[in-house]
Amino acid sequence: MTVREQYTPGPASGARVRKDGEKWTLVLVRELRHSPEKVWRALTDPAQLREWAPFDAAGSLGTVGTKVKLTTVGAPTPHVTETTVTRADAPRALEYNWGGFDMRWELEALGGGTRLTLWTNIDRRFISMGAAGWHIAFDVLDHLLSGTPIGRIVGPEAMKFGGWQRLNAEYAKQFGIEKANQPPKATVNNPTPGGA
What integer pLDDT is reported at residue 3 of this predicted model? 80
Range scoring the smallest mean pLDDT among 1-10, 39-48, 113-122, 165-174: 1-10
Q: Is the pLDDT of residue 192 over 50?
A: no
Q: Give how many domains the chain has, as a whole number.
A: 1
What's the CA gap between 124 and 130, in Å, rounded? 10
Q: What CATH number is given to the structural domain containing 140?
A: 3.30.530.20
Give residue 135's domain range.
3-195
Q: Is 108 exposed, middle or buried (0-12, 13-18, 19+ CB in 10 A)?
A: middle
What integer pLDDT is reported at residue 89 of this predicted model? 98
Q: What percent of the chain has pLDDT over 70?
A: 90
**What number is the average pLDDT over the span 36-53?**
98
How do the residues of the chain divide into helix, strand and coil, expressed in percent and rounded to 5?
Answer: 35, 30, 35
Q: Tens digit of pLDDT for each residue in 105-115?
A: 999 999 999 99
Q: Tens digit of pLDDT for each residue in 150-190?
A: 999 998 888 888 799 999 999 999 998 866 666 655 444 44
What's the CA gap between 94 and 92, in Å, rounded? 7
Cα-only R_g, the chain: 16
